[in-house]
Each structure stands twice: as structure tokens, then as C-alpha cells.
Chain A
Amino acid sequence: MARSSLSTARLFAILGKELSETELREVLFRTKVEIESVQNGQVEVEGNADRLDLLDEGGLALELQGSLGSASGLPGGPPGAALPGVEARVNASVSPLRPELEMAVVVAPEGSTGLDTGTIEELVRYQELLHATLGRVRKAASLGLYPLERLEPPFHYAMEPLGQVRFTPLGGSAEVGADTFYSEHAMAKEFGALGRKDDLALTLRDSARAVLSLPPVLNAAGAGEVRPGDRRVLIESTGTRAARTREMVGYMLLPFAARGWSVHPVPVHRPDTSVDGVEVVSPRRLPVQATLINRLLGSRLTSAEIEHALLSARLGVERASGSLHALVPPWRADLLAPVDLAEEVAIARGFASFAPILPPAMSMGRRRPDRRFEVQLGDVLLGLGYQELNTQVLVSPASAERFSEPGEALHLSNPITTELSCARPVLRTSLLDALERNTRSSYPQRFFEIGPVIVRDPDADTGTRTETHLALVDAGELAGFALAAGVSERLFEVLGFSAPREPAEARGCVPGRVAKLRIAGELVGLVGEVHPSVLSELKVQVPVSWVEVDLSRLERLRGLLPNKAG
């Protein structure tokens, strides 16, 4: 989810009318953006990651117009022609670091006074939102806005030696060398690695050699600075992903298009090829498949109704030789396939207009077979006085290695806290953690849990296996190996299994007081008595014994059970 704080005055100016907070909330509930707050002339909105267009004042105004029925279809006319001489040349030197470049030009409508201070502020805010989201913090793609009227096209995108580049950073007053800029400026410290490699830096210049910017770090003062009154703006995006740079320019067209500015392509000449830039600024065609839409939505909409809904969604529609196409503007990168138009139709008509219905139930419900023992064993243990627990899979390294050898437990590479940095390989360790937290409570204490543990398994595709274990602990003066062994016998007796004990050793336990439990030769569990060194670390001052059983294995052995009736 991303957030924007928008000016209600500018929003309503584009919308063409004012709405109360209640009206705004009602209309926007039907869309993919919701209002967090409205105060001091600002509306705070939160939107889904796919609809970055709705986090711009212009984009939100278009959506509201569509919902209220005051306007429909694509804003403005089709893209204009490329402006004479306005084009860009990409030098092959940029390839290793940041090869992609796309541009577009926007021109204010006749009679307009061009940009104003408020709009410039909004453009910068939206640009930074796009940097943070679609641009992956400028790594995949970044944006720049430039005053075309004060520049000399064509533009040159290249890598240059640091010593040859001098410019005045935006917001500064003195010209500096690129080497100084890269070693001292705050923006260079944050994004420098994206625009500089060794003693070379990316530059964008016009034909008069004026530095527009050092992409993707910072624009230059003057040539890289749009001001109130500017009527022609060059939009540029550089990046490492071609698709993302195209989309960045596409989204940045939106605030201008919504205000009636015309959009124009900028041809880009690369070392191996040239493109006219039209694709960047033009709507894409997506076939409208009425059958697909109705089949997915469970509706019976006519072709005209679908067309109307798509226009309300601020898409264009084109009907040619019997087939219908949606025209998707460059700021709707979220629409990938014909199926996406179904959701556009559903949102435009309102989800509330699609009455919920139930499919006929054609299946038998059931729990997993290997959970059949869980309730039975739980009942037996409750009867024996064991309190059920629900503990977490992630534990501390100390807990993970309490009963297991170092290296057995999985470690996270990016834990939030060391207390939760390992996946437990046995369940009983979590019950010991619980005993540690209950030392102020009276004894005896008896706990059990049926829950997951993670064990290493090189044969499995994840290199691990999630097993369901049952573990119980006894803490109190009478706890000890004999009690635990007795409880294990009781458990298996109830299930109809016989699981003879055989001597074993286990970490964290008293030597000679651990036993393996086997059924038909297969190891199904362990029983043991906790070593006093473990107890003293946990400040538990009574003996503790435990049983741990792998329930998944028990289910596999179910076939060995004698028939109950027999």
C-alpha cells in the first residue's frame, strides 16, 4: 500500500466540482483507493500498489469524474507529433551501468499560463512516489523533468570522466566538479552507486553541452529546473529495466494529461537502433472479450454496457471491423491482459451490483488423514492433566540447541530479533521455554502441544521437512524418566500400538535416562529426563521429563493397527 497527501483545492479544480468528505468516501469506497483523512485542505489517500495513477491528483480526479459520470474515456486527444529536433542520443558507454532511456514532451494547452508553484510541488511529490515504488528506489528506473523552452535539443545521454563534468546541483548556487559532487553531496551518498562507476559518471546534456542532470542522482540548477510559467516540459527516465523506464514516463504524463496538456513522443537513437518514442506516449490496445468478462463475473452484460463501463473506467474504446478494443493509457501499466478488463468493468459498475450466489457443494469435506490422532491424543493428555499450549515455530538459538546438535536447526539470514532467529527442530524445547516463563506458578506443571517442527531433509525440494510432533513435559517433584515412560505407554496403548523402549542418548538429557520408542522397527518418538544443567539455566527448580512423538510417522504405521472389532 502506498500513500499520498493531495490538495483538495487542486483536486476539485481538475474535477470541476467540489465534494464533501462523505461524498468523497462513498465514491472512493468503490475504487482501489481509500481515504485516510481529510483535513487542512489536504486529503490523505492510501492505494493498492497496482494503481499508482490514483495516487496523483490528476489521476484521482479522472477516476472521480468517471465514477460520477461527469466525464469518460481517455483525457485529451491522441498524442501529438514529435516536436521538430527534440530527440535524444544514447552513447554506448552507458550500457554497463544504466542502459535504458525514454523521453516524452508535454505542452500546455493554448491560453494556459503553464505551470504554477502548487502544481510543481505536486509533480515533484508524485515523481518521488514513483521513484520509491515502480522505480524500486531509483534502481530499476528514475525520472527527471526539464524546462524544454530553455534547452537546446537534441539531448545526449553518456558516461563521462568525472573530471570533465561541472554543474550546479539543483538547490545549490555554486558550480562544482562531478568528483566533488559525488564525494560530498547528500543525494550522491544515497544514490551515487547508481550513477557512477569508477571515475566515470552518467550525464544528460543538451546540444549546448549544458548539464541537465547526473542521472539518476540529481538535476542541475537551471537546465534541470522547471519553474512557474513553464509551458513545455521534457520528461526523461533512465533505468536498468526497459519496461520500467517506459512505464515511469507513462505515469509521469498523467498529471499533465489530466490538466489538458498535450503529449508528444521523443525519438531516441541508440547505438544499435532508433525508436520514434510513439509507443511510450500512446494507448495500448487490449481486446475486449465480452464472453470472457461475463463468464468471469457471472454477469450477462451487453457489449454496449461493457463499453460504457470501460469508458467510465477512463479507458478508451475502439471498435473496428466488428471487434472491440480497450485503449489503455500509458499510466495504466497494471492492465496486462484481456482478463484485467473484467475487473475494470466490475469496479465501474460497482461490486455491489454483483449479487453473491453459492455454487452447489459437490464435495465431501474432511480433515487430513494424518490428523486423525491429534484429537484423540489431546483428549487422553487432557485427561491426564496436561494443559494444551500453542507456541511459535521460531525460537532463540539457545532454545534451538537445547536438545539438538548445533547445525540441526535452520537459521534465518534476516531475523528481526535473535530471540526468533531459528526454526525449532524439536517441539519439546518450546515447552521448556514455557516452563521457564512459569517458574512463579506452583508445581506440578504439565504441558502438551501438537505442532510443527522443521527438520533438515536433503531429499526434499526445500531441503527441509515440516513434521507434526506431539510433545509433553512434566515438571514437579514426581517428574522423571519413569513418569514420562509411563505416559508414553498410556498414549500408545490408547492408540492400539506397542512401542517398546530401547536405550538412547539425547542432548540436554541425563545420560542413561533417554529411550527411543519404536514401532515395527521405525523410530516414532523419544522419552527422557532433562539434565539439571538445562534446568538450572532456565531457573526451573524441579525435575522435568518429556515425551516427543512424530505424529506423521504414526499415521504411516496405521496399517499395522489391529482391527478394533477384533
Chain B
Amino acid sequence: MSDEPSATAPSSLSLTLSPQEVRLLRALRQAPPGTAVPEGQAAAGAGMGADAARMGLERLRSKRLTVLEETSREHWALTPLGKSLATRGLPERRLLNVLAEKGPLSAGEVPGAVPEGAIAAEEVTVAIGPLRRQKRIEMGEKLSVASDTDAAAPLELEGDLRTMSDGGQVTDEKALKELQRRGLAAKEVERSRAWRPSPEGMALPLEGAEGDSIGAITPALLIHGGWTRATFRPYDVRAQVPHVEGARRHLYKEWLRQVEEVLVGLGFEEYRSPLVELEFYNNDLLFMPQEHPARSTHDMFFVENVQGHGLPPKLLRDVASVHEGRALPRQPAPLSRGWQTPYSEEVARRIVLRSQTTAATMRYLVSRPKPPFRMYSLDSVFRYDQLDATHLIQFDQCEGAVGKSGLTFRHLLGLLTQFAKALGIQEVKFQPTYFPFTEPSVQGMVRHPKLGWVEMMPGGMFRPEVLRPLGIKVPVAAWGLGIGRLAMVALGLSDIRDLYLDDRSRLSAARV
């Protein structure tokens, strides 16, 4: 097969015409050669409604069998207000008639002197100006018909309004401008469409083209067996077809599910914790100093009018001890110098939007899981950041923690390498970094084909100051990946906001 379009002879084209199209073409061909037939006339000639005829003629045009000739003409026409006043009479006519009939009246008295609705107060106001200008009324204390005039004589614009209402044309430019100013007339463009056959349309043999050829297969054809006597009209298979959009999984959520499958495959159990969190779980348990800059209003989101409560008393006491560098109960010496600043329970009870999924790990460890354990939490965190192509204030982290007797720093490096490989990343290297809650701490860097080495896998071994108050007696390795960045690499996105894309067309068109 060739991809080249095959040359189509006019004779074979006839097979692509529907019976309606044949009738329309025939109607056009009856006019003298070169003469375009108005669209309405073509419809009547083919015995079709206006809409169906237009669609048929357009289809014929797409097959290059007809030519459309569009003309447009500008003309003056009455507005709806103009049409209404042509029937009811101009306000000045009605006012003059009232004054002629009832005698002098003040402007306020006019509406009440006639049947309701005959002339409104604002119409009286509109009418006074033209009547005075045309010297048809006099204004003293009351309005009255000018003494030397005949009330029945025509007023300006009256004749023009009537002419236009009767379908005639007004040529007096001054009158037209006045009608336009008063919103009674406006310029309109009248378009007319006429059709003639193209040379191919003239030459095309039409005999027998109507016959029994079938376009759409209908239930009736199938039920009554009509199809057995018919021929099927071939379609132009290259013709443009309607665009089909369909429902899809969200591209980022789908990718996150694949990450979860990897984690579950590696033996990790899912854990989730609240998005709105106590600073105790978000920071204090992690041995983050209460005066740490990352705990300020410039780094975390604080929640209004909600107070935390119910902190486990013993845990709170022990966390306060390690922060202040005091020994835990039944311990001969402090675990470390601590932060040597007073620990505040009030700070611990403050409510924030979770800034790190390590808070989920803390909740998990508070539940005293039985070692060995492997947990993950793939969930949202919130950071105070400017919004741009690479930063969002809500983004996802993939937290992992492994607890096991004999677990070492080398195991942490092994787990990070294994996870990266499971996500399709082959090259990983490790650099020292700092987190208040891990020792040693590590930054896993992965090789990106375009960006080079990218920091993506921060982790570490939890410090004794974190594990001892929790009563965890085995070493715990943990990490928290910025999974959104990794998704951008995997999905080929350059704007992190696309992870939250809600444009229906783009979502539907996204690559599988």
C-alpha cells in the first residue's frame, strides 16, 4: 500500500454522493451555466429544508463539486424600538394628539390624562424637545398646541419611520442620522449565499448515482433486511472526522500509583497521617530546635483558631528533655547537649500544614511498629514558597522508613540505590548533607539526561534523640523524596504546575 493519495477520477467520485447531494447538484445544474443559484432556491429545487440543503452543499463543496458565492450589502433597518414606535406612533405624535384633544396640560399631568400606557412620563420628556424645535407646541405654565399650527400635520421622522416599516428605503442622510441617534434605526449587513457547480460538478455523471446506495446503516435496514437489496456507498476515508475526547486517569496520579507498586513490591507498607499537623509531630519529635528558622512563618503555614491538644504526656516530657539536653528517666547521662534553649509546650501544640512527610513517619513510630518494618507514605506537604514553574506550595513527598536490628548507613545507601533503580534511574551518588533529625545525613543525587546531577533523595539514620523518646530500640533509616520533581523528569514536564493540570483537552490528549 502507498501512503500517496490516489488520483480520483470524477466518475468514481459520484459513488461518494448521497442521494440528497445528487439532488442538490442536479438543481444547481439546471440554472444557466455560470449562474449561481441562491441557497434557498437550491433547497427548494432539491426538495429539502434550508439546514439540510446548506449542509449538503457544504459537503459538495468539500468534494470540490460546488462553488459558493457570498455577497454582502449594507442597508438601514429599523431596530426593535423603531419597529414598535412605527406601530404606536412617535412619542411627540402621541403627546401632540393628547394636547390637541385635552387642551393645555403640565408635563406631569399628561400620562394621567390618557388611558394607562398610552404615553409614559419619560416619553413626555423625550417628546417635548422635538415638538418645541418644530414649533408645534408652546410652553407656558402648561404645554399647549402652538396656536398657528394644525396638530394633524406630519411631524419630522414620521414619514421616514413609516417608509422603513413598509420595507422602503430612506435616502435622507439627516433623517437617518436622527433615527440612529434615537435608537430607532441601525445599519445592517445582509449576506446572501448562492451556489454554482464547479467544472467537476458540471462534468460529473449523475445517472444512477441515487439508486439504493446506503450511507449510515440504520436499525431499520437491519430489522427489515433492506440492506440485502442495497449497495453500500463507500466513504471518503481520508475525510476529516469528529475529534473524540475520552476520560483518562490523571497522568501524575497514574505515575504515583506505579511508584507505589514499586514500594509495595519492595516490601513497604503504606501509612498516612493528617495533612494538618501538630508542630510536635511535624518538628519537635524530629529534634528540630523550636527556634529553627524552618519553623518560622516564612517557611510553614499556620492554621487560624485551632488549638492542638492530647499530646502523650510521657512522650512530651521526654522530647522536652532531649531538646533541653537533659537525661531521660533511668538514663545516667543526656543523649546530647540538646539545643540548650527552653522547650515550649505551647509551640508543640501549634497547628500547621504538614511541611514534611517525616511527620507521618513520626506518627508511625509513635504507634510502636514491631521490627523489622518498612513503611512508606506518599502524600502532600506544604511549604511557604513562591509559585513558579519549579515551585509549588503544595507538593508530594515519598517518605520511606526501614527499622531493623543491625541496620546501618550502608543499608540506607543500598535502599536508596535500589529504589532509584526500581524507578528506572541507573546512576546515583551520595553527598553529605544536614537534617537535625538524622546522623549521618545523606543527599542522593541522580543523573538526569538533560539536567545533569540532580539532588532528589535526601535521607539519613534517625538520631538517638529522635528514637529514644519513641522507645524504638532498632536503628531506623529514613528518606523523603521530592517525588514531584522525579515525576517531571519521568513525564517529560517542564512546569511543575502541570502535575495539577485540570485542562480537559490537554489531559485527554496526554501521552499514555
Query: A residues near B, CB below 8 A?
Result: 29-32, 34, 48-51, 133, 136, 140, 241-244, 295-299, 334, 336-337, 339-340, 342-343, 346-347, 351-352, 354-359, 361-368, 371, 375, 378, 381-382, 384-394, 410-417, 420, 423, 433-434, 437-438, 441, 445-447, 452, 454, 456, 460-466
Chain A residues, CB < 8 A from B10: none
Chain A residues, CB < 8 A from B418: 358
Cα distance, A361 to B306, chains bound together (Å): 42
Chain B residues, CB < 8 A from A392: 392, 394, 500
Instruction: Identify which of A29, A136, A354, A454 contacts B276 (C-beta below 8 A).
Output: A454
Instruction: Identify which of B267, B309, B441 contacts A361 (C-beta below 8 A).
Output: B267
Name the residue on A nearest B269 (C-beta): A366
CB distance from A128 to the nearest CB of B (A): 16
CB distance from A431 to the nearest CB of B (A): 9
Please encode chain B, from 316 to 354, with 1 for each CB lying within 8 Å of some chain A CB and 0 for all others: 000000000000000000011111110000000001010
Instruction: Identify which of B278, B386, B409, B432 contacts A461 (C-beta below 8 A).
Output: B278
Q: Are B411 and A359 in contact (CB under 8 A)?
A: yes
Q: Are A364 and B301 in contact (CB under 8 A)?
A: no
Cα distance, A30 to B339, chains bound together (Å): 27
Q: Apart from A357-B410, A365-B266, A412-B301, what 6 extra A-B contacts exist at CB < 8 Å?
A: A296-B409, A343-B440, A351-B431, A356-B417, A365-B268, A462-B274
Please encode chain B, from 15 to 48, with 1 for each CB lying within 8 Å of some chain A CB and 0 for all others: 0000000000000000000000000000000000
Please encode chain B, from 484 to 497, with 1 for each CB lying within 8 Å of some chain A CB and 0 for all others: 00000000000000
Instruction: Identify which of B302, B336, B394, B433 contacts A48 (C-beta below 8 A).
Output: B433
Q: Are A359 and B407 in contact (CB under 8 A)?
A: yes
CB distance from A355 to the nearest CB of B (A): 6
Cα distance, A298 to B436, chains bound together (Å): 21
Cα distance, A461 to B252, chains bound together (Å): 32
Judged by a CB distance under 8 angstroms, whether B91 is at the interface is no
CB distance from A444 to the nearest CB of B (A): 11
Q: Are A354 and B409 in contact (CB under 8 A)?
A: yes
Judged by a CB distance under 8 angstroms, whether B5 is at the interface is no
Chain B residues, CB < 8 A from A394: 382, 393-394
Judged by a CB distance under 8 angstroms, whether B248 is at the interface is yes
Judged by a CB distance under 8 angstroms, whether B439 is at the interface is yes
Chain B residues, CB < 8 A from A367: 260, 264, 270
**Contact A461/B308 with A51-B434, A356-B417, A437-B502 known, Cβ cut-off 8 Å:** yes
Chain A residues, CB < 8 A from B253: 388, 390
Judged by a CB distance under 8 angstroms, whether B499 is at the interface is yes
Main secondary structure of the interface of A (DSSP, over half): loop
Chain A residues, CB < 8 A from B337: 336-337
Chain A residues, CB < 8 A from B406: 359
Q: Are A363 and B500 in contact (CB under 8 A)?
A: no
| 5 A-B interface contacts by CB (under 8 A) | A133-B293, A336-B336, A365-B265, A410-B306, A438-B502
Chain B residues, CB < 8 A from A49: 293, 434
Q: Are B414 and A356 in contact (CB under 8 A)?
A: yes
Judged by a CB distance under 8 angstroms, whether B121 is at the interface is no
Instruction: Identify which of B272, B434, B464 contacts A368 (C-beta below 8 A).
Output: B272
Cα distance, A415 to B266, chains bound together (Å): 39
Judged by a CB distance under 8 angstroms, whether B424 is at the interface is no
**Contact A466/B502 with A296-B409, A359-B404 known, Cβ cut-off 8 Å:** no
Q: Which of B169-177, B198-206, B231-239, B504-512 contacts A (4 or more CB under 8 A)?
A: B504-512
Chain A residues, CB < 8 A from B340: 241-243
CB distance from A478 to the nearest CB of B (A): 16
Instruction: Identify which of A298, A387, A416 contacts B393 (C-beta below 8 A).
Output: A416
Chain A residues, CB < 8 A from B277: 462
Chain A residues, CB < 8 A from B268: 363, 365
Interface centre among B269, B306, B416, B503 (most CB of A within 10 A): B306
Chain B residues, CB < 8 A from A371: 270
Chain A residues, CB < 8 A from B461: 296
Q: Are A339 and B464 in contact (CB under 8 A)?
A: yes
Instruction: Identify which of B339, B408, B433 contacts A297 (C-beta below 8 A).
Output: B408
**Contact A414/B302 with A243-B340, A359-B407 known, Cβ cut-off 8 Å:** yes
Cα distance, A3 to B436, chains bound together (Å): 19
CB distance from B483 to the nearest CB of A (A): 13
Judged by a CB distance under 8 angstroms, whether B475 is at the interface is yes
Q: Are B303 and A411 in contact (CB under 8 A)?
A: yes
Q: Are B387 and A358 in contact (CB under 8 A)?
A: no
Q: Are B246 and A412 in contact (CB under 8 A)?
A: no
CB distance from A227 to the nearest CB of B (A): 34
Chain B residues, CB < 8 A from A446: 247
Q: Are A454 and B439 in contact (CB under 8 A)?
A: no
Q: Are B441 and A416 in contact (CB under 8 A)?
A: no
Chain A residues, CB < 8 A from B308: 461-463
Across chains A and B, which 3 residue pairs bring their CB atoms closest together, nearest first? A298-B408, A337-B336, A243-B340
Q: Are B248 and A387 in contact (CB under 8 A)?
A: yes
Chain B residues, CB < 8 A from A384: 247
Q: Are A464 and B270 in contact (CB under 8 A)?
A: no
Chain B residues, CB < 8 A from A51: 434
Name the residue on A nearest B280 (C-beta): A461
Chain B residues, CB < 8 A from A410: 276, 303-304, 306
Chain A residues, CB < 8 A from B157: none
Name the residue on A nearest B335 (C-beta): A337
Q: Are A378 and B409 in contact (CB under 8 A)?
A: no
Q: Are A387 and B303 in contact (CB under 8 A)?
A: no
**Contact A339/B463 with A354-B410, A361-B266, A464-B351 known, Cβ cut-off 8 Å:** yes
Q: Are A389 and B293 in contact (CB under 8 A)?
A: no
Judged by a CB distance under 8 angstroms, whether B271 is at the interface is yes
CB distance from B303 to the nearest CB of A (A): 5
Chain A residues, CB < 8 A from B436: 50
Instruction: Identify which of A29, A30, A413, A420 contacts B302 (C-beta below 8 A).
Output: A413
CB distance from A414 to the nearest CB of B (A): 5
Please encode chain B, from 413 to 448, with 1 for each CB lying within 8 Å of some chain A CB and 0 for all others: 111111000000000011111101001111000000
Instruction: Identify which of A346, A388, A441 contacts B250 (C-beta below 8 A).
Output: A388
Q: Are B353 and A48 in contact (CB under 8 A)?
A: no
Q: Are A415 and B301 in contact (CB under 8 A)?
A: yes
Cα distance, A528 to B309, chains bound together (Å): 36
Cα distance, A338 to B310, chains bound together (Å): 33
CB distance from A511 to the nearest CB of B (A): 29
Q: Are B411 and A358 in contact (CB under 8 A)?
A: yes
Q: Are A342 and B440 in contact (CB under 8 A)?
A: yes
Judged by a CB distance under 8 angstroms, whether B249 is at the interface is yes
Q: Which of B62-70, B101-109, B372-380 contacts A (4 or more CB under 8 A)?
A: B372-380
Chain B residues, CB < 8 A from A412: 301-304, 353
Chain A residues, CB < 8 A from B353: 412, 423
Chain B residues, CB < 8 A from A361: 266-267, 374
Interface centre among B374, B416, B439, B463 (most CB of A within 10 A): B439
Name the residue on B nearest A423 (C-beta): B276
Q: Are B475 and A296 in contact (CB under 8 A)?
A: yes
Q: Are A462 and B276 in contact (CB under 8 A)?
A: yes
Q: Are A461 and B311 in contact (CB under 8 A)?
A: yes
